Amino acid sequence: MESCDELEEAERLLKDLAVREEETSKRLEELVLSHADIDERILKLHKVVPSFQLVHSDTEELTKIVTYTSSLAENISRKVKQLDLAKSLVAGSLRRVEDIMDLRACTEGVKTALHEEDFEQAAAHVHRFLGLDQRGLRSCVGDETVEGSSLEEAFAALTAAQKTLIDIVTQRFNEALSRSDQASIERFFKIFPLLNQQHEGLTKYSNYLCRQVTDNACRSLRTAQGLSKSDKRWAVALADAFSVLFEDAARLIEIHQPLVERYYGHGELYVLVEILHREVCVQQRRVFQELLASRALARRCKKAQDTLIKSSLTDRSSAGLRGNSNAASLYGTQDPIIETKEIDAILEELALIHKHAELYFRFIKRRVNDDLDQSKLPPEIKASRAAEFSQKVAVCELNKDMQELMSYYICLEEFFMVESVKKAVELESFEESSQTSSLLDDVFFLLKKCLRRAFSTTSADGACAMLNHSGSLIEGEFARASQERLQRGFPTGAMMDHAISIMQGKLQSQAEQERDREHFMVTLNNLDTGCDYVETLVAALTAECQKRFPGCSAQERGKLEACLANVGAAGARLRSLSSAGIGQLCASAVRPHVKAACDAFHTANHQLSEAEFAQLEADDGLRPFIQQLVMNLDSLLSSFREVLTTKNHEHLVALVASEITQFMEKAALKTIYNRLGGMQLDKELRYLIGYLTKVASWSIRDRFSKLTQIALLLNIDSISEVEEICSTSQSSLTWRLTPAEVRQVLGLRTEFKSDEIKKLRL
């Protein structure tokens, strides 16, 4: 305040001091009011202080109790550990005592059992001895003796007993094998695992089973060799020999698997199967050599390949077997070694053999893998044994021979298919009551038979090869034979004037022309029906893939699907030929009538008077050339409906509609019309569309949309209607005419001036 020079500043400071004084007074009042509460709290604290002293003493007492309990627990835990150690030592001692007692019992029991030739009991004693912890006994007992004999002497005695028992059991087992004493064989077979001789026992027992396989295989092979060609089973005699061999091996595995699992445990069956399989490979080799020799497979394949090459060269240098004067002599002088009937029988036998072999492979793999899965071996050992077994099967002699067999099969099957299809082409016959020829049924029956046979081999490679050959035959021989017949054209002599036929120098008789027309139609039907047959065949084979190749790899399945797709693509080739043939038929039989009608339309008067229009109305409203066109079309399409398949007839009607629109559009744009001429064109066009719609089983109006729009423009009363008709916002039609074409059509009307047409906004 003393430093203030101005009154205003002093007043301001005074106000601040007054405010601070007021705040301080309020704070003092609050403190005075809380004084009583503070005194009350202090009083309560004075009352609680004695309780705090009691809590403190209780806490000290609790700390002493917890400390004592902790030390007691530690003492108890230490004593429990000592008791556990003592217990384990006692248990170990008891086990050692039991082992010593067992050792004594085994030492005494094995001698008695050997003396009494109770080999099962002796083996049980040795097995118990082998299960003892010999190192633990030596460390525990030291130099002490067991009932008068040292521990080492007991070990030595039992080891010697083990060797003696192994020698005796091996000798007795061999004697039983030589006598084929099944009871003794099984008796001693069960003893080997007790002596830790599992592999030895399984090997000897498997060799014994191999002798059974050998005996049966030799017997069945001799039976097959003893059959004459006149015998009904001669054609499949060697397939029977293979079947007997595989079935014997599978039967022995199935019968003796429970015995092996019971006494040797799971995981050991692969030893028996592997030994048996080696013997199967040896025996099948003998049968396979007989198959090669008696069926002359190598010679037949060489001859078949040479014949196919010569036939291919012949086809390239000529128009094909059809019409080839040497075709009959080719079949007549065929080498007997490649006669298709014998080849067919051999193919059935080869397919049957491979099927049996594949079933055998699947059987042994499944049995071994199932046995390994049930074993208690570590997973890595299971996988290793399974992979090792699969690898051995993959490189075995049987697998190699089956691959060679499939190469012969594929070669002969290809030859059989090609030659049979060529014969079907050469011997094609036509029946009046059938829309198709024998060629269609023969070819697709053959393809179905050969493909099913290839699939029955259960060889994915064989099936793929035959699928590829089938597709080649459909696109090649069958399509080529059909194409050659179509290239001869559709004879139209019977539908033309006789004088024109003479002027053109046609030398064919009426019967020959009728026959050629019939063959042309049948060929079209063959192609159309063949497309359906291909689709049905592919669908059936696709379903059969699931049954024949259930365990094939993804790569094999992909190959099968690709080959099936190739066969389906061959059907598309037939469809394209059928379409070309229908186009040829339309051009030959229908186009002349359409062209004649369009020429008449072009030369006709389209600027009709009221009297002319009224006269046409009185005469059914159609001009003669339209009536004649409809009559000719009705006659042609009705006759074709009886001889063509439904799809071919529909395709023909579609082409007829296209022909009419093409010629009519050109003719309509070259003529001048008045209002009545446009009305007449619209009426005749509606009649023509109505007729074709009735003939077709589908809507045909879309094909006439452009021509209909031309008639619509020619039929309008005034040019002012054009913009409304062409407006996409006011018309539901899909407008096909361009603005230039609209002006061109309007220019054909005599009533419309060119200046008005040019002014239109289109």
| Fold observed for domain 604-758 | Methane Monooxygenase Hydroxylase; Chain G, domain 1 (1.20.58)
Instruction: Judge whether residue 20 has pLDDT over 80.
Output: yes
Instruction: Judge whether residue 315 has pLDDT over 70.
Output: no
Beta-carbon contacts of residue 315 (< 8 Å; ≥ 6 apart): 321, 480
Which architecture, in CATH terms, is 436-600?
Orthogonal Bundle (1.10)
Q: What CA–CA distances, in Å, run from 399 to 364, 369, 557?
A: 13, 19, 21
**Which run of H or of E encompasses 564?**
helix 554-585
432 with 417: CB under 8 angstroms? no
> 100 or 750: whose pLDDT is higher?
750
Locus of tokens 């071994």? 368
CA gap 382, 120 in Å, rounded: 31
The whole-number pLDDT of residue 180 equals 79
What is the residue-wise DSSP string for 272-315?
HHHHHHHHHHHHHHHHHHHHHHHTTHHHHHHHHHHHHHHHHHHH
- Please compute the mean of the pLDDT values over residues 330-351 and round it to a whole number: 76
CA gap 519, 429 in Å, rounded: 10
The whole-number pLDDT of residue 330 equals 38
CA gap 241, 761 in Å, rounded: 91
The whole-number pLDDT of residue 392 equals 93
CA gap 344, 729 in Å, rounded: 71
Angle at 185 between CA 181 and CA 187, to 5 degrees: 120
R_g of the chain, CA atoms, integer Å: 52
CA gap 395, 413 in Å, rounded: 26
190 φ/ψ angles, rounded to the nearest 5 degrees: -75, -20
**Which run of H or of E encompasses 150?**
strand 149-150
Instruction: Judge whether residue 332 has pLDDT over 50.
Output: no
CA gap 368, 386 in Å, rounded: 8
The whole-number pLDDT of residue 328 equals 37
- Please compute the mean of the pLDDT values over residues 386-402 and round it to a whole number: 94
> 212 or 170: whose pLDDT is higher?
212
Domain extents for the chain?
7-151, 436-600, 604-758
Instruction: Judge whether residue 506 has pLDDT over 70.
Output: no
Count of CB atoms situated within 10 Å of the CB of 706: 15
Closest C-alpha among 491, 520, 518, 523 to residue 504: 491
Task: Locate 716 and state its tokens.
Answer: 């309008």
684-699 tens-digit pLDDT: 999 999 999 888 877 7
Q: What CA–CA distances, in Å, run from 441 to 365, 437, 517, 578, 669?
A: 42, 7, 21, 17, 50
Question: Average pLDDT over the chain, rounded to whole?
Answer: 84
613-663 tens-digit pLDDT: 888 888 777 888 889 989 999 988 888 888 899 999 999 999 999 999 999
CA gap 245, 251 in Å, rounded: 10
Instruction: Judge whether residue 717 has pLDDT over 60.
Output: yes
Confidence of residue 495 (pLDDT cuts 50, 70, 90): very low
Task: Locate 292 and state its tokens.
Answer: 């090669």
Closest C-alpha among 107, 145, 317, 283 to residue 212: 283
Closest C-alpha among 387, 386, 360 to residue 372: 386
- Please compute the mean of the pLDDT values over residues 433-453 and round it to a whole number: 92
Task: Locate 153 and state its tokens.
Answer: 């002497």
Confidence of residue 503 (pLDDT cuts 50, 70, 90): very low
CA gap 96, 134 in Å, rounded: 10
CA gap 170, 204 in Å, rounded: 9
Beta-carbon contacts of residue 606 (< 8 Å; ≥ 6 apart): 671, 672, 673, 674, 677, 678, 680, 681
Closest C-alpha among 454, 357, 360, 376 to residue 412: 454
Closest C-alpha among 459, 449, 260, 435 to residue 353: 459
CA gap 196, 267 in Å, rounded: 15
- Please compute the mean of the pLDDT values over residues 67-92 and round it to a whole number: 83
Locus of tokens 């001009």? 623
Stated pTM of the model:
0.75
Closest C-alpha among 664, 682, 692 to residue 613: 682
The whole-number pLDDT of residue 580 equals 92
The whole-number pLDDT of residue 575 equals 92
The whole-number pLDDT of residue 164 equals 76
- Please compute the mean of the pLDDT values over residues 750-755 and round it to a whole number: 87
The whole-number pLDDT of residue 36 equals 76
The amino acid that residue 460 corresponds to is: A
Confidence of residue 52 (pLDDT cuts 50, 70, 90): confident
513-554 tens-digit pLDDT: 788 888 899 999 999 999 999 999 999 999 999 888 887 888
